[in-house]
Amino acid sequence: MTHAQNYIDTYYRDTLNADKARPALEGDVQTDICVVGGGLAGLSTALGLAERQKKTVLLEANRIGWGASGRNGGFVAKGYAQGYRQLVKAVGLPHTKELHKLATHGRALIKKRIENYKMDCGPVIDGVLGVSWNKNPQAVREYIDFMRKDLNAPLEFWTEEQVRAVCKTQRYHEGFYSPEDYQFHPLNYAHGLAGAIESHGGQVFENTKALRIEDNNAGYIVHTPAGRVICDQVVLSCSIYIDGALSAKLKYAAFPVYTFVMVTTPIPEDILDGALATRYAIFDNRFAQDYYRRLEDGRILWGGRVSLSAAPEDLAEIMLRDLLKVYPQLEGHVQADYAWGGELCYAPHKMPQIGELKPGLWYNTCFGGHGLVPTSVGGDVVSSAIAEGDERYKLFEPFSKLWFAGGPLSPYIAQSVYYAWRIRDFLRGLKN
């Protein structure tokens, strides 16, 4: 017996346009492809398949966007959880350029779908600003040069004065502005994708956990508590919740990382303008970074931190303190209204894992803390591989070997790395 879970208490849940519930699967259904997992990875894959005239069934154990996909910061930003300069070291510049092309396409595809299907997941606001915690204009310029010259990404340098004109804090120095990145409401987007799948005749089931997959030589049978999906091919997009009964290999190739978001009470506009005078989404350049944005009702959505375990009891206070460290002028004007955590799925190389476990059994998972654009990429390349024999998914082959990622010890390894990087951030800060 499995127990499906409803949405946790988040700002996104409370601002869902329409909380359309989908039925649980009962009985047998026959289809071309069964996608397991109703996060943005599974939804993007299922929509890519449905758009390519494949009969598609999607199974979600809880609710659409219940996991990281409905709890994140809403930054639709370039690239992957692994940085591009590290990717150049790992796979070379030509290969990195191809991966970047996919990311650029994936980011544009999200916007195109929002427009084409008239998804109500706004406001969609262009512009993301990366700010430096340490004074090092040379390093910012070098990064921008690399991104412009080698990857054709139109980043702009912002001086300390420009940054501080909109982020009114002494904490930040120079920055870079990315005009092509944007922000939106991720849970409304997830529901938009589910509706788009259904508009092509695809079927979406909630409260329907895939329990095991039977290979019957002619295809696969996906068993659920009250029914079965009989299909030619299966795509696993279960993120960190993957059950060993579906694939022990996938389960042990990733480790979990918790990360957190807090949303403030609405702040009067004049006071908010005295701290954060922009609607651009902001992130700083520390490993343990803060990332945040103004919401349309005068709140600030503030993200950051990673941890071994789910949200501590005083999460709201901890996150509020982080905000007040950067914007002390908001003290007395702001309280935490929501605070929540979510679980990320990381491979040791911080890249997505995309490929085929055996003929007709695909995986599209492990997007880490930077997944909105990469899930769109993964969905596109896997659906076009299945429907059209497209081989772009092979660009992820260097990262698709399913190494053992530490098993039960993996969260402790992740936490130690996090502390080490926080100490490094602290020491760098002392040099300012």
Ligand X SMILES: Cc1cc2nc3c(=O)[nH]c(=O)nc-3n(C[C@H](O)[C@H](O)[C@H](O)COP(=O)(O)OP(=O)(O)OC[C@H]3O[C@@H](n4cnc5c(N)ncnc54)[C@H](O)[C@@H]3O)c2cc1C
Which residue ranges make up the site for ligand X (CB under 6 A)? 36-42, 59-62, 66-69, 71-75, 209-210, 237-239, 241-243, 246, 259-261, 303, 342, 344, 365, 367-372, 375
The nearest distance, CB 107 to ligand X, in angstroms, is 10
Q: Which residues contact 41 (CB under 8 A, 6 or more apart)?
A: 69, 237, 239, 364, 365, 367, 371, 375, 378, 379
In the complex, least distance from residue 383 CB atom to ligand X, rounded to whole angstroms: 14
d(CA 236, CA 238): 6
Give CA angle at 234 (229, 237), nearest 5°: 110
Give the sign of the dihedral formed by CA 248, CA 347, CA 307, CA 99.
negative
Compute φ and ψ for 155, nearest 5 degrees: -75, 150
Of the pair 130, 274, the CB lying nearest ligand X is at 130
Determine the residue with CB nearest ligand X: 371
Among the listed residues 315, 299, 296, the one whose alpha carbon sits nearest the alpha carbon of residue 307: 315
Decide whether 345 or 386 has the Cβ nearer to ligand X: 345
CB of residue 234 to ligand X, shortest distance in Å: 11
Q: How far is the CB of 69 from ligand X (least distance, A)?
A: 3
Nearer to ligand X (CB atom), residue 223 or residue 333: 223
Closest CA to 324 of 350, 290, 353: 290
Question: Is the Cβ of residue 213 or residue 334 nearer to ligand X in the bound state?
Answer: 213
Cβ contacts of 97 within 8 Å, gap of 6 or more: 150, 151
Closest separation in Å from C-beta 165 to ligand X: 24
Residue (372 or 382) nearer to ligand X, CB: 372
- Of the two residues 179 and 244, which places its CB atom closer to ligand X in the complex? 244
Six-digit token string for 192: 């938009």
The nearer residue to ligand X, 72 or 178, going by C-beta atoms, is: 72
Alpha carbon distance 91, 398 (integer Å): 8
How distant is the alpha carbon of residue 324 from its chain centre?
26
Question: Measured from the CB of residue 283, what is the shortest distance to ligand X in angstroms?
Answer: 8
Rounded to whole angstroms, the Cα distance separating 291 from 283 reads 4
Q: Minimum distance from CB of 220 to ligand X (Å)?
A: 14
Q: Please name which of 33, 131, 45 lies closest in space to residue 364, comparing C-alpha atoms.
A: 45
